[in-house]
Amino acid sequence: MQPKFSAALDRPLILLSNREPYEHVHRPNGIEVRFPAGGLVSALDPILRRTHGTWVAWASGNADRTVADDVGRVMVPPGDPSYTLRRVWLSESDVEGFYLGFANSALWPLCHLFVSKVDIRRNDWESYERANRMFASAVVQEAERVGGAPMVWVHDYHFALAPALVRPQVPDALIHQFWHIPFPPPDVFGILPVGVQHSLLRGLLGNDLVEFQTDGFAWNFMDCVARTLPDAQVSLDQGVVHLDGRQTRIGAFPISIDVAEWQRLAALPHTVDVCRSLRQRYAPRDRQLVVSVDRMDYTKGIERRLRALEHMWTDSPERRGTFTMLIVATPSRTDIQAYAKLERDVLEKIERLNDEFRTLDWTPIVLVHENVDADLLAAVYCAADVCVVSSLQDGMNLVAKEFIACRTDRNGVLVLSRFAGASDELGAALLVNPFFIDAFADTLAVALDMPRHERVERMTILRDRVANATIDDWLDAMLSAAEATDQATDRAAEGGAATL
Ligand code: GDG
């Protein structure tokens, strides 16, 4: 069924994100197009195609310049050109300062409450400001090109300053932003230099609507505004901030996945074969298979998961050999020291645990440390008796939802951190506190011992939940809210009530 989507899409759409939907790279036999894996690009690409919109993003491929025009525009998808990709080039030092620096070594750890990992450097901040100006001016140029009153949709923490930079130059634009990661409470946000706090909040308040994954993150944001900007009026109940004669709506819009696509992947004959061979290899006879899938990121709690396993195999030796742990940990941000260290620590710990507990016919932990195709992920989800998501903080966590979508057999247990945004919706999972290692190990044991009827009962509830809140429902809800914000603003301008 085709989703309706809202009338907000009658406006020309300009999307801004750091990652681009298509990347061109030089290969020995020519230029190859890469379609970066990930739910977001797959969800938004069809909308851009349908509306013939514009996607502004960082040019990360080494052949990107070769195929784009002088300004950086290229029509995509290749072979079926239907929308404009506007590429923005960053210097090496801005990749360092903006992307690896302020975005991923200051904002990322700060928003995930990893205060000891927060690195604030003046050069990085200046580079973040510069990059935001560059991307904002590309958005403005695209707005001038397409004309009319566009809808500008900004994505994530890389671009907190862009909305307020675009607003005065495209006054008729409807501007909104989805913040994919958590937003910290004021005490943590307060770690940033005061001037930086003001710039980030004022930048975000350049939006008509700011979208968070959960109510908790939306409240944190409004709390930070109330405590940091004395001239702002915050109405927590209504989710509205007034500043400088403008209003910004704040709301929770939990992101989801393309459920039908994951079900399709799970049903492919190849997936079914791979699933069967995973079970033959790692879970023969009555041995079980526990799986996890993450980017190799310290927020995902991979080390805590290993500690819980160690605790279990040490305290309950009878559990050794009863299940294999398959960890898919995709390399991520390896240019950042904290990530390189995490990778070393995780590899070492897995090796040590395997040396300590392995038997002649059992390797306790199997690590897949590479980017794999989505159909292999589907096979991993289908093969699992238990899937563990142990994030220490997470905006949402799509893996939890992908696992559920793939389990058309209504079997399999989800162990889910209560610090992942997904736990707000997925209460029928076994919720766990990954900081409390003993309890984490106990919950794993409960998952492994869960009788079949309870697995089915829980998975049925989880599947209903995910089926009723897909990526299309997310888009519909958000675009309708953006449109309502727009109408409310129009009414306010005409002197009427400005409520959603
Ligand atoms: C942020 C927020 C929020 C992983 N390895 C491979 C691969 N993946 C895919 C998974 C899943 C995605 O990556 C990871 O999802 P998360 O939700 O854990 O996301 P983050 O990357 O941390 O992203 C997060 C999300 O934004 C969306 O708003 O949920 O809280 O941190 O889709 O399947 N995909 C492929 N190969 C891999 O090796 N193809």
The residue whose C-alpha atom lies closest to atom 13 belonging to ligand 1 is 38
Q: Is the CB of 34 under 6 A from ligand 1?
A: no
pLDDT in tens, 15-30: 999 999 999 999 999 9
**Ligand 1 atom having least distance to the Cα of 40:** 27
The residue whose C-alpha atom lies closest to atom 12 belonging to ligand 1 is 38
Q: Is the CB of 47 under 6 A from ligand 1?
A: no
Out of 392, 396, 414, mutate this one to test ligand 1's pocket (max ligand atoms within 8 Å of CB): namely 396
pLDDT of 497 higher than 50: no
Contact 77, 49 (CB under 8 A): yes
The residue whose C-alpha atom lies closest to atom 19 belonging to ligand 1 is 397
Q: Which one is predicted more confidently, 419 or 488?
A: 419
pLDDT for the residue numbered 50? 86
pLDDT of 493 higher than 60: no
Can the peptide bond before residue 184 be classed as cis, meaning omega within 30 degrees of 0? no
**Ligand 1 atom having least distance to the Cα of 294:** 4
- Report how far residue 111's alpha carbon sits from residue 184's, in angstroms, rounded to the nearest whole number: 5
Q: Place 5 in a pLDDT band, splitting at 50, 70 and 90.
A: low
* Angle formed at CA 486 by CA 483 and CA 492, multiple of 5 degrees: 145
Of 288, 310, 282, 307, the C-alpha closest to 413 is: 288
pLDDT of 490 higher than 90: no
What six digits make up the tokens of 241? 């901030």
Percent of the chain with pLDDT over 70: 95
**Ligand 1 atom having least distance to the Cα of 398:** 17
Q: What torsion do the CA atoms of 422, 423, 425, 427 make, to the nearest 10 degrees?
A: 150
The residue whose C-alpha atom lies closest to atom 30 belonging to ligand 1 is 395
Of 446, 414, 417, the C-alpha closest to 433 is: 417
- Which residue is associated with the tokens 């459920």? 259
Q: Is the CB of 97 under 6 A from ligand 1?
A: no
pLDDT in tens, 259-310: 999 999 999 999 999 999 999 999 999 999 999 999 999 999 999 999 999 9
- Report how far residue 459's alpha carbon sits from residue 430's, in angstroms, rounded to the nearest whole number: 11
Strands 430-432 and 30-34: unpaired
Question: Dihedrals φ, ψ of 362, to 5°?
Answer: -145, 120
Contact 234, 228 (CB under 8 A): no
DSSP designation for 371: -
What is the whole-number distance in angstroms between the Cα of residue 259 and the centre of ligand 1?
15
Contact 440, 432 (CB under 8 A): yes
pLDDT of 4 higher than 60: no
pLDDT of 2 higher than 70: no
What is the whole-number distance in angstroms between the Cα of residue 387 and the centre of ligand 1?
15
Q: Is the CB of 467 under 6 A from ligand 1?
A: no
Q: Is the CB of 309 under 6 A from ligand 1?
A: no
Q: Place 1 in a pLDDT band, splitting at 50, 70 and 90.
A: very low
Task: Give the H/E segment covering residue 440.
Answer: helix 437-449
pLDDT in tens, 115-129: 999 999 999 999 999
Q: Is the CB of 377 under 6 A from ligand 1?
A: yes
Q: Is the CB of 295 under 6 A from ligand 1?
A: yes
pLDDT for the residue numbered 69? 96
Sign of the CA dihedral running 33, 34, 39, 44: negative
Of 125, 60, 124, the C-alpha closest to 90 is: 60
The residue whose C-alpha atom lies closest to atom 17 belonging to ligand 1 is 397
Q: Is the CB of 265 under 6 A from ligand 1?
A: no
- Which residue is associated with the tokens 């492919």? 268
pLDDT in tens, 194-246: 999 999 999 999 999 999 999 999 999 999 999 999 999 999 999 999 999 99
pLDDT in tens, 464-475: 999 999 998 998
Q: Is the CB of 330 under 6 A from ligand 1?
A: yes
Report long-range pairs for 470-473 (Cβ below 8 Å, ≥24 apart): 470/256, 470/257, 470/258, 470/259, 470/260, 471/39, 471/43, 471/255, 471/256, 471/257, 471/258, 471/259, 472/3, 472/258, 473/3, 473/256
pLDDT for the residue numbered 427? 97
pLDDT of 6 higher than 90: no
471-493 and 39-51 helices cross at what angle (nearest 10)?
Answer: 60
Sign of the CA dihedral running 164, 166, 172, 176: negative
The residue whose C-alpha atom lies closest to atom 38 belonging to ligand 1 is 371
Q: Which residues contact 11 (CB under 8 A, 6 or more apart)?
A: 148, 149, 150, 151, 174
pLDDT in tens, 373-396: 999 999 999 999 999 999 999 999
Q: Is the CB of 371 under 6 A from ligand 1?
A: yes
pLDDT in tens, 308-357: 999 999 999 999 999 999 999 999 999 999 999 999 999 999 999 999 99
Q: Average pLDDT for residues 46-62, to the nearest whole number? A: 92
